[in-house]
A and B are shown apart, each in its own frame.
Chain A
Amino acid sequence: GIQVEQSPPDLILQEGANSTLRCNFSDSVNNLQWFHQNPWGQLINLFYIPSGTKQNGRLSATTVATERYSLLYISSSQTTDSGVYFCAVRSGGSYIPTFGRGTSLIVHP
């Protein structure tokens, strides 16, 4: 099946810093989604982005499907950005999404 790798696995930032999280996948995908799992365990949708670029406030994401990667940008990070960021992909013909292992982000005040 498709392999999904996220990097870095861990990231520690000071409040106000910018960061880039990466999601690589081993096959072509027709669905890709980024989630944030907050420290209370809740999974929150960030972007549905099988291709192209989207922005939502301080967050933006870009997926280059032909090169099999997606990037999540966090600008001016805040302590509330702490948590784990997951990407999930689905390749054609599969009804089961594959999640990456996540990037654990800690933002210090």
Chain B
Amino acid sequence: EAQVTQNPRYLITVTGKKLTVTCSQNMNHEYMSWYRQDPGLGLRQIYYSMNVEVTDKGDVPEGYKVSRKEKRNFPLILESPSPNQTSLYFCASSLDFGGSGTYEQYFGPGTRLTVT
């Protein structure tokens, strides 16, 4: 089954304790991205990756890191989480992001993160 998976689905942690949220897709997609969703602010992109070893900042990258060492995986790293990073996080992938029209994004199930 074609899918985007994220782990963990729920996480409660404390300020400053490094954490990683994993994301994996099995569709051989080139483009992957991370979003956070907050009430009243909607979905905002954190980072995206056009392909292996190619990443770039989205709208709200502060406090986050990413890496793309393999095509299928795109982990999100919070090196020193703070309470303002409490949010619902989504990973997404698409075949590519070019003008060919294959932009259709597929989302993972979401990770609900609480930082106390």
Say yes or no: is A86 at the interface (Cβ < 8 Å to chain B): yes
Say yes or no: is A99 at the interface (Cβ < 8 Å to chain B): yes
Chain A neighbourhood of B58, CB < 8 A? 96
Known: A30-B99, A86-B43, A101-B42. A96 touches B48 (CB 8 A): yes
Q: Interface range on chain A: under 10, 10 to 19, 20 to 34, or 35 or more?
A: 20 to 34
Say yes or no: is A43 at the interface (Cβ < 8 Å to chain B): yes
Chain A neighbourhood of B74, CB < 8 A? none
Q: CA–CA, A95 to B56, complex, Å?
A: 9
Chain B neighbourhood of A30, CB < 8 A? 99
Partner of A50, one of B50, B59, B97, B101: B101
Give residues 86-113 of B contacting A (CB, 8 Å): 88, 90, 97, 99, 101, 103-107, 109-110, 112
Partner of A97, one of B45, B50, B110: B45
Q: Which of A31, A43, A44 has most B Cβ within 10 Å?
A: A43
Partner of A95, one of B50, B101, B104: B50
Q: CA–CA, A88 to B106, complex, Å?
A: 13
Interface 1/0s, chain A 25-38, versus B by CB < 8 A?
Answer: 00000110101000
Q: Interface range on chain B: under 10, 10 to 19, 20 to 34, or 35 or more?
A: 20 to 34
Q: CA–CA, A97 to B97, complex, Å?
A: 10
Q: CA–CA, A71 to B105, complex, Å?
A: 19
Say yes or no: is A41 at the interface (Cβ < 8 Å to chain B): yes
Q: Decide if A33 touches B105 in the complex (CB within 8 Å).
A: yes
Interface 1/0s, chain B 57-83, versus A by CB < 8 A?
Answer: 011000000000000000000000000
Tell me the minimal C-beta distance from B93 to chain A in angstroms.
12
18 extra interface residue pairs, beta carbon distance < 8 Å, beyond A31-B101, A96-B58: A30-B99, A33-B103, A33-B104, A42-B110, A43-B110, A48-B101, A48-B104, A86-B42, A86-B43, A88-B43, A95-B50, A95-B56, A96-B45, A96-B48, A97-B105, A99-B44, A100-B42, A102-B42
| Residues on A facing B (Cβ under 8 Å) | 30-31, 33, 35, 41-45, 48, 50, 86, 88, 90, 95-97, 99-102
